[in-house]
Structure 1
Amino acid sequence: MERPLLSVIGGGAMGSALLRRWVAVGVYPAAQMALREPDLDKAVALQQELGIRLLADPSQAGESEILFLAVKPQLFPAVVAEMGRLSATELVISIMAGIPLQQLQQAFPKQKVVRTMPNTPALVGAGITAISYGPGVTPMQVEQVEKLFRAVGEVVTVAESQMDAVTALSGSGPGYLAVILEGLIDGGVQVGLPRPIATQLALQTLAGTAALLQQENLHPAVLKDRVTSPGGTTIAGIQALEQAGVRGALMQAVRAAYERSCQLQGS
């Protein structure tokens, strides 16, 4: 049997979501993708759903051209020990938070290594992934990496020193926005809207605003000025937001997440 092109280690929430997306958009044929997942029931279910191959032994992952690590960071040393020497792998891609390029390179000294930080909207093809490349990654390998992550959203290349900031903004950002949405929905209910309608209005308002800003390349302040008429409803609401310190609270949230990410990477 022909060796797989891509082997994924870890079939958890993000690993399985990425595999589903890659199969759905045809990044690679399902038969050229393999999965190593110790939970046999989960592995078999994904195999039956997607038509991918399963790796019975971790060492088989080293037979693929690309190794994709989607395990929890604390499992990384054990996974490396189980795989042993990678016989054919040329490129190792990691989505593990807190595992720096230097540590990846020490574990895989003969391979090119790449560190990435996708976020949860990748599950529906609307994510953004920050990518940091290790030494010697070739232009062709850059294309391979971007092909994988463009299938689940946008990509941006950053210096590895910026990865903690990426984690604090786009990695943790969906959590912040979920809290904001919940507050908007509750506000709608408070002023008399049925919760399902308040939810629909809030969700579409967030999605539509993001699409408008992106498509027209607008600064958020420009859009804010467009929708605030003198003495109107929007400026009254914005005044309430400023009095509550919402802008500062969001900046503090990013700072707190950044500091925590730095702590975890140092631990």
Structure 2
Amino acid sequence: MNKITIIGGGNLGKSIIYGLANSDLFEAKNITVVDKSKHNLEEVAEKFGVSTSQDIVTSIKQVKWVILCVQPRQLNAVLQEITDIVTNDQILISTVTGTSMAEINEVVPNNTVIRVMPNTGAAKRLSMTCISASEDAREELDFVEKMFNTIGKTLVIEERLMQAATVLGASGIAFFLRFLRAMIQGGIQMGFHPHEAQIIAVQTAIGAATLVAENDTHPEREIDKVTTPQGCTIEGLNEMEHQGLSSSVIKGVMASYEKINTIK
């Protein structure tokens, strides 16, 4: 239970390593990172004190957990490389977009596979990670939740919703940032210097999200608290809706969802 190998030391891999290396779940020396890039390996070794290797086969021997943190186009080659090496008691955790547990089990048929979908908030331990597993992986699922709670919040969902979770939780980072950029641009047009507009907009966004998260209220309840009759807030909100704000966001989310269902 106390050894883990992470295949892939890119941005997401580094975020996961950061969380695990700073938790009480694994000692840094029992975390091995595999990557073709010497630069990535040198960086994670220096920052986190973890073990590193360019050899997948050697690195997955005698470990309980193997996190597949590679691009979709790289996954099949990785699976082919480990299929004759993994033992039945090893758990594969996949962060790979668009690949089901059943598809992974076509190549490695005897291993439990658990799917996870973090987002780039993991770099600040603020990820929203959705997790899916089969019914017979309940015991392993509990520990995987603990792993990914080290980089933010987790939610266990049905596998059929993993594509939607990718859009809402992972692509959603970009959607919120695009709205934030627009707020900053509006602030500049009103007279703030760019850095001032960014400070105000960013802190306001953090405050808005925190109100909903910590008060456990619907966004509209918090909106009602800052809209007064005939005031400037309701004037701005109504103009945004007249210009199609909510409709555009929903259409954008659904366009992303339709696209992800075509990606393999």
How far is 1:135 from its partner? 4.8
How far is 1:106 from its partner? 1.9
Does the 8 A contact of 1:70 with 1:95 survive in 2? yes
Instruction: Report the Cα distance in structure 2 between the residues aligned to 1:184 and 1:56, rounded to whole angstroms.
Output: 44
Matched with 1:212 is 211
How far is 1:80 from its partner? 1.5
How far is 1:162 from its partner? 0.8
Matched with 2:110 is 110
Matched ranges for 1:41-52 at <5 A:
41-52=39-50
Matched ranges for 1:19-168 at <5 A:
19-60=17-58, 61-83=60-82, 84-87=84-87, 89-139=89-139, 141-168=140-167
Q: Which runs of 5+ in 1 are unaligned?
A: none
Instruction: Report the Cα distance in structure 1 between the residues aligned to 2:238 and 2:88, rounded to whole angstroms.
Output: 60
Matched ranges for 1:240-259 at <5 A:
240-259=239-258
Instruction: Report the Cα distance in structure 1 between the residues aligned to 2:19 and 2:225, rounded to whole angstroms.
Output: 37
How far is 1:171 from its partner? 1.4
Amino acid in structure 1 at the alignment position of 2:97: A
Matched with 2:7 is 9
Does the 8 A contact of 2:2 with 2:26 survive in 1? no
SS in 2 for 1:137: helix
Q: Deviations over 1:59-106 (max 9, x none)?
A: 121431101000111111111222232137521100000111101222
How far is 1:21 from its partner? 2.2
Does the 8 A contact of 1:116 with 1:129 survive in 2? yes
Amino acid in structure 2 at the alignment position of 1:59: V
Change in 2 beyond 3 A, CA 1:220/1:177: same
Q: Which runs of 5+ in 2 are unaligned?
A: none
Change in 2 beyond 3 A, CA 1:15/1:89: farther
Please tell me whether residue 200 in structure 1 is matched to residue 199 in structure 2.
yes
Does the 8 A contact of 1:213 with 1:219 survive in 2? yes
For the aligned residues, what is the CA RMSD?
Answer: 1.6
Amino acid in structure 2 at the alignment position of 1:198: A
Amino acid in structure 2 at the alignment position of 1:228: T
* TM-score of the superposed pair, with normalisation by structure 1: 0.93
Amino acid in structure 2 at the alignment position of 1:121: G
SS in 2 for 1:87: coil
